Amino acid sequence: MVRCPSFDPVDSEPSQPESGDNKPVASRHAEELLVDTQIMGQSDIDHAVALSLHSAQPPIKVSGYEQEEFLGRGAFGEVWKAVDSNSGREVAIKFYNHRGGIDWSHMTREVEKLQYLFSDRHVVQLFDVGWDSDPPYYVMEYMGFGSLEDRLRQGPMEISESVKMIREVTIGLAHAHDKGILHCDLKPGNIMLDQDGRPRLADFGQARLKHEHAPALGTLFYMAPEQADLAASPDARWDVYALGAMLFRMITGELPYMNDEITQELSSQDTLEKRLKSYSTLASHHSKPTAHRLHPGVDKPLADIIDTCLEADPRKRYPNVQSLLHALELRESRKSQRPMMLVGLVGPALVVLLMAVAAWFLFQKTIDTASAHLLQRTGESNHLAAKSIAERFSLEVDKRWRILESSAAYAPLMEWLRLPAGEPHAELQKWLDEQHTHWNSQFTSGTGAAYWFILDKEGKVRAISPPADSLVGSYFGYREYFHGLGKELSPFDPVPKTITGPHRSNVFRSQPTNQLAVAFSVPITGPAGESLGIIAMETAMGHFAEFQGSRNQLSVLVDLNPDQAGQSGLIVEHPQLDRSNANSPTSVYLTPEQLATFQHLREVQTQPASPDNADDGANAINGYIDPFSKADAANDWLASVAPVQVVRGDGENLDTGWAVVVQEEMRQTLSPLERLKSLFLYAGLAALALAAVIIGGMWGIVLLVANAPGRLRSLKFWSRTATTTLHSLNSASDSLRKPLP
């Protein structure tokens, strides 16, 4: 018979020891088979089959039969197709070429079980046995349509075909179990197909009677984990497990638990005991197979049936094949009732559904109108919040400029800058350290300047706080905070002119911390108006101002001027901006479309107020895409933009190039309406559920009425019986009351 390509079933007869060896003959022979088994691919199998077909002559001439064709060779012999000379019926003759004890017992068991099952249409029939022949043989039905294994090599089967096939096999197996025969080696190769495509059980060489205690080894991956124990007694639940494995393969095209890793693990074992123990452990502790549940055509009852069959713990498995057959029939029965249930439910359900759709449509229109008004009010609120935050931030910027301007007006500073550049100036350094310490104490924790520094008109560092003597005398006149040209120059360019007023540099990454930073600088001008240099402070972004909106709002700072890399639209402040990771220098920018919109709004709002330029809230942006939002959360924000503009008492307006964005997530904004919608939805669902209960109750009544005739007939029978009994009793009573003659 056809065996599993990777692992063959093995007979085991522990009661037959050889002389000089304590190991049973069957166990030792099984071990040799398992050790020598090679894992073969499909091409190797086809090649081996082709080679096996080269046999030209049968072992012997069986009287009464004409051998026509060699069918195959197995572990115990070979099979030939023949024709009964008397009836012309095609048969298969299985020769046992090896007369060893184990082969003889194998044939004896198989023939014995086939005799028990004679005339059972679910079993390949036995016609004749040649006990005394050399080699011995038996004659059985010829199944010209091959085995289930041959069919499965073409690919998985349809769900309905698989269930029908396994149900037929289960019925045949139930017949065998009723006669006390356990197959113990059930697999597709042992299921033959007749001319109608119906399955027949074959190969009972490993079969055991229920009262037998001799172990029987099946085929790996079809064999129950506990069956791998050589001391185990045969159990009907072994066949239940094999049925589940077969159904799993018929549906998915693969075996449960079988993969390259597990196959390699089993192949690496050098003895039968180790291989069986490894298989039992893997099957018992490996996670349950799920491929059948992923199949689109497998319903939950069928998946549960397969899972129950494949339970590693036999106590959780179906106790016998009859229970499995009952589960399959119950599933089919329930499936057949579904059309009737649909007919009784679809009509009323459609009416309820149409009413629900109409109610939802009207409610949704109301919600949409309310949402539009709520979004309008939110836009106005965001507009006011953006202006307020921008004004507060401009005061923070102006505060730093004014501090620097007051320090730049210090007369000794001017005298120190007129001295020739050279060695560090102790008094200048001391004064700068005092300024740095004093003014940082005026700010909240973490918002002070990281550095103060002074450059002379030649662009060379005269002093820096905290002190860094190695930088004193270095040239930094090419930096943007020195000349204010909007971009850095080359260190080899001629020394540019200094800035002429308060200036904030483009945003750059500070070398010591690798974090975004900005430098505020003002010119140092002598009494005659001559330029003596600049004084500046460097501040890490995210620390010199707090950008926090309300509970549902986010405040964001955007740089609309080019940064040190020459790109505009850098996100400078954002709640999701990671400032703690100095090794992550990735910058986030606005999209070109967003940048153009922001720059336009800045130009409109920085122009002097006029009747033609009234602040009408035109800075609101609907459907704003937050650069930090995930792709699936786009268009979830309402945003308003306000430029950061320093307005001084003398009418001087200084545009910092920054803009504040106040954005609010639409989900949060519309959450009250969403809660209302949810409440309405829950109420609607409750109403639908109530309608479903009513419809279900009415449908139940219909079923009761439909089944009423049977009950009425039963009631009429018992009523007639009672009436007849009473009539007999009355007649007997009247007879007793008559006078005797």
506-524: per-residue pLDDT in tens? 888 877 677 788 999 999 9
Most confident of 58-62, 166-170, 198-202, 209-213: 166-170
Average pLDDT over residues 281-298: 88
The rounded distance, in Å, linking the Cα atoms of 688 and 354 is 11
Cβ-proximal residues to 295 (8 Å cutoff; 6+ apart), any chain: 159, 251, 252
Q: Which of 466, 462, 460 is nearest to 478 (CA)?
A: 460
Answer for the pair 187, 219: CB distance below 8 angstroms, yes or no.
Answer: yes
Q: Please check the confidence at residue 279 and state whether its pLDDT lies above 80.
A: yes
Q: Which of 324, 283, 464, 163 is nearest to 275 (CA)?
A: 283
The rounded distance, in Å, linking the Cα atoms of 193 and 181 is 21
The rounded distance, in Å, linking the Cα atoms of 713 and 710 is 5
The rounded distance, in Å, linking the Cα atoms of 419 and 731 is 148
Instruction: Name 524's bridge partners.
Output: 533
Instruction: Name 508's bridge partners.
Output: 517
Tokens found for residue 525: 């001008």
Q: Please check the confidence at residue 721 and state whether its pLDDT lies above 50.
A: no
Most confident of 323-332, 551-560, 612-621: 323-332
Average pLDDT over residues 536-549: 71
The rounded distance, in Å, linking the Cα atoms of 679 and 685 is 10
The CA distances from residue 587 to 316, 457, 635, in Å, are 59, 33, 22
Average pLDDT over residues 569-589: 74
Q: Which of 518, 534, 537 is nearest to 462 (CA)?
A: 534
Tokens found for residue 352: 């309820």
Answer for the pair 669, 638: CB distance below 8 angstroms, yes or no.
Answer: yes
Q: Is 599 helix (H, G, I), strand (E, B) or coil?
A: helix
Q: Please check the confidence at residue 316 and state whether its pLDDT lies above 90.
A: yes
How does residue 720 score in pLDDT terms, banded at 50, 70 and 90?
low
For residue 88, give the amino acid letter: G
Q: Which of 202, 216, 107 is nearest to 150 (CA)?
A: 202
Average pLDDT over residues 585-604: 84
CB atoms near residue 258 (< 10 Å): 19
Map tokens 């102006």 to a residue.
398
pTM score of the predicted model: 0.47
Q: Please check the confidence at residue 621 and state whether its pLDDT lies above 70.
A: yes
How does residue 238 score in pLDDT terms, banded at 50, 70 and 90?
very high
The rounded distance, in Å, linking the Cα atoms of 363 and 278 is 64
Strands, E assignment, 112-178? 126-130, 137-141
Map tokens 């939802």 to a residue.
360
Round to the nearest angstrom and report the end-to-end CA distance of the chain: 89
Q: Which of 322, 106, 94 is nearest to 192 (CA)?
A: 94
Q: Is 639 helix (H, G, I), strand (E, B) or coil?
A: strand
Answer for the pair 166, 117: CB distance below 8 angstroms, yes or no.
Answer: no
Average pLDDT over residues 529-544: 86
Q: Is 523 helix (H, G, I), strand (E, B) or coil?
A: strand
Q: What is the pLDDT of residue 169?
A: 94
Q: What is the pLDDT of residue 31?
A: 37
The rounded distance, in Å, linking the Cα atoms of 223 and 183 is 11
Answer for the pair 92, 140: CB distance below 8 angstroms, yes or no.
Answer: yes
What angle is formed at CA 244 by the lines to CA 239 and CA 247, rounded to 5 degrees?
125
How does residue 146 score in pLDDT terms, banded at 50, 70 and 90?
confident
Q: Put residue 455 in one of left, alpha, beta given phi > 0 → left and psi -120 to 50 → alpha.
A: beta
Supply φ then ψ for residue 657, to 5 degrees: 85, -5
- What does 311-355 look like in DSSP terms, one character per residue? -SSGGGS-SSHHHHHHHHHHHHHHHHHHHHHHHHHHHHHHHHHHH
The rounded distance, in Å, linking the Cα atoms of 107 and 344 is 58
The rounded distance, in Å, linking the Cα atoms of 368 and 664 is 19
The CA distances from residue 492 to 316, 422, 477, 479, 658, in Å, are 84, 20, 10, 12, 31
The rounded distance, in Å, linking the Cα atoms of 421 and 117 is 114
182-193: per-residue pLDDT in tens? 888 999 998 999
Answer for the pair 148, 243: CB distance below 8 angstroms, yes or no.
Answer: no
* DSSP-derived pairing of the beta strands 137-141 and 65-73: unpaired
Tokens found for residue 720: 């007639």
Tokens found for residue 569: 């639209």
Q: What is the pLDDT of residue 715?
A: 46
The rounded distance, in Å, linking the Cα atoms of 133 and 59 is 11
The rounded distance, in Å, linking the Cα atoms of 378 and 667 is 12
For residue 287, give the amino acid letter: S
Average pLDDT over residues 580-594: 74
Q: Which of 374, 19, 8, 53 is nearest to 219 (CA)?
A: 8
Q: Please check the confidence at residue 105 and state whether its pLDDT lies above 90.
A: no
